[in-house]
Chain A
């Protein structure tokens, strides 16, 4: 009997030693490892192709992806708030979400001295708590085969007269509310006037799709013929053979900015800053414009003119670019979602 205990204790000690050694390993490796929270799919693939492989891997950085949509990633950040060491070093989020996680006290206030390439950032892409990586604008999409007179404004696109030819994307509720507000005399800081318009569209048969992809599919099968979406997505869908054209609305072009923020408890902040700097390299920014149809957030990227013509905006349209009122959206988001779920989708 005593022998049995001796053996088990020895085994136990051995196991414990192995465990301790295992736990110590990541601590050594960590300096060169960056954990990036990001959406999966194309964006993640292009981050690897345009940033990680050419700019970080040669310098010995090892990038690990935590791929998920942003709501679960934000939920995870919130859950890890009390931890000294979080599980990610940098998180890809939209400007609206970056504002929100900053309000929740989850992200680092950035030291721009550690991001040399940030000196070329377009001022609107530079936040105290995050850096814009790519941007596009919310434009009108229509199928020229089915819509003979192209709409020129949000008012003409989000019009009950479109009946069941109008498609609306569920997860795009914020931008849809903003566009409808702008169409009805409101602004990005006052979406209220647009609610009645949306209800009328819904009553007239507007179709609601759960995701951007489902919307694209419906455009492709001609189930719908008009809607609003990022210009960059329209370019991707054109590349995929979907018959769709875009118009920058008269009322303005709400900007969509996607960027990165660093959690306060990121284990490897040095790595996070390195990543932020690398993503602003002109070569990476140009590659994203070509591969994904989003505009560079830095002024020193040279996008080929024919690409710019498809993805960018004319000087006249650029004047109509409007940034969202992130404070207004964040403060009222719960109320907006309730209205969207209970009144609009009811």
Chain B
């Protein structure tokens, strides 16, 4: 609290007294330095590594400056297909999160119930359990003799167990379950800020519910849609535990690929390159979506 006061003081005081600028710098400095060092220094090192060569026989790095690792990624269908799968899974799960999350967020935002807090808690509840633990739960449900298959076979709906575990379906379901609360919370906070009166005005002017949603609510809630979409998309692009545990050995997504390249193959240069490509693609798609939606809002 006192820090905030001090910074504000330094910012508005006029004329400035000697030493106050210094105080502000001292207060902001440590956090800035910490973030800069702990975020940018490793990134810089990783970028440098990604330009190195790799000796396969001894699994060690050889100092060099070569784009070979990046070229290798884009010229090998194995890696580009991993990137394509990652983008596809991230887009699909984000869209489903948005479609499922919006009505839920709307209800949570608009409810007058005294149990509203409990409702929000219930949305957040899944986040109390780690991703890996949740994936383990899904494994029990999806397995050949798991809950779903045993149930359906017991009811005589199917004869042979459905292959859910170790497929893209399982990964997408798993990621949606992880990301949905983030989408709902982002949307709910923005919808709450949309005055109920504007909805009522639309209705009183004769708009059916869908038109009201399309012409009034959605445009006003767009910042929430944007925040929720970006958040869930980034989380899905970088998902590790869920694809690793539910996708199985044959399923390829980027984050497990980065980990495998670093640890299993000890190939830091190539692992670094894959990490940067993943980061760049995520960043580009996020910025593009942001610009697109902003342009729509202006129009």
Residues of A within 8 A of B (CB): 1, 71-72, 74-75, 78, 100, 103-104, 170, 208-210, 217, 221, 223, 330-331, 333-335, 337, 341-342, 345-346
Q: Is the CB of B60 within 8 A of A337?
A: no
12 interchain pairs, CB-CB under 8 A: A72-B263, A74-B266, A75-B263, A103-B58, A209-B249, A221-B144, A330-B57, A333-B265, A334-B56, A335-B56, A341-B78, A345-B250
Residues of chain A with a CB closer than 8 A to B78's CB: 341-342, 346
Assess the A210–B249 pair: CB atoms within 8 A. Answer: yes
Question: What are the residues of chain B within 8 A of A71 when measuring CB–CB?
Answer: 263-264
Contact bitstring B250-264, A, C-beta under 8 A = 1, else 0: 100000000000111
User: In the complex, are the beta carbons of A221 and B145 less than 8 A apart?
Assistant: yes
Q: A224 CB to closest chain B CB, in angstroms?
A: 10
Q: Let me know if B263 and A74 touch, CB within 8 A.
A: yes
Chain B 127-161 near chain A by CB (<8 Å), digits 1 or 0: 00000000000000001110000000000000000
What's the least CB distance linking A3 to chain B, in Å?
Answer: 14
User: Which A-B residue pairs are the 10 nearest by beta carbons?
Assistant: A71-B263, A170-B249, A334-B56, A331-B57, A210-B249, A342-B78, A221-B145, A208-B249, A75-B263, A103-B58
A345 to B81, CA, bound (A): 14
With CB as the reference atom, state the residue of chain A lying closest to B257: A341
**Which of B58, B145, B250, B265 interacts with A104 by CB under 8 Å?**
B58
| Contact call A1/B19, Cβ cutoff below 8 A | yes
B143/A221 in contact, CB under 8 A = yes
Q: List chain A residues, Cβ under 8 A from B265.
A: 333-334, 337
Instruction: Encode contact with A along B47-64: 1 for CB under 8 Å, 0 otherwise.
Output: 000000000111110000
Contact A208 B267, beta carbon cutoff 8 Å: no
Expressed in whole angstroms, the minimum distance between the Cβ of B236 and any Cβ of chain A is 21
- Which chain B residue shows the least CB distance to A208? B249
Set of chain B residues within 8 Å of A104, measured between Cβ atoms: 58-60
- Inside 8 A of B266's CB, which chain A residues have their CB? 74-75, 78
Chain B neighbourhood of A217, CB < 8 A = 143
A75 with B144, Cβ < 8 A, contacts A103-B58, A104-B59 known: no
Residue from the set B56, B248, B264 with the largest chain A CB neighbour count within 10 Å: B264
Picked from A208, A334, A342, A345, the residue with its CB within 8 Å of the CB of B59 is A334
**With A and B bound together, what is the CA distance between A79 and B60 in angstroms?**
11
- By beta carbon, the residue of chain A nearest B19 is A1
CB-defined contacts of B263 to chain A, threshold 8 Å: 71-72, 74-75
Residue on B nearest A72 in the bound complex, by CB: B263
Additional A-B contacts beyond A208-B248, A210-B248, A335-B56 (15; CB < 8 A): A71-B263, A71-B264, A74-B266, A78-B266, A103-B59, A104-B59, A170-B249, A209-B249, A217-B143, A221-B143, A221-B145, A330-B57, A334-B56, A337-B265, A341-B78
B73 to chain A, nearest CB (A): 13
In the assembly, what is the distance between CA of A334 and CA of B57, in Å? Answer: 8
Compute how far the CA of A285 lies from the CA of B224 in the bound complex, rounded to whole angstroms.
62
* Cβ-closest chain A residue relative to B146: A221
Nearest to B262 among chain A residues (CB) is A75
Cα–Cα, bound, A337→B59 (Å): 12
| Residues on A with beta carbons closer than 8 Å to the beta carbon of B58 | 103-104, 330
Please determine whether A337 and B250 come into contact, CB atoms closer than 8 angstroms: no
Smallest Cβ-Cβ distance to B145: which chain A residue: A221
Given the complex of chains A and B, what is the CA–CA distance between A208 and B251 in angstroms? 11
Verify A334–B249 contact, CB threshold 8 A. no
Q: How far is the CA of A217 from the CA of B145 in the complex (A)?
A: 11
State how many angstroms separate the Cβ of A269 from the closest Cβ of chain B.
24
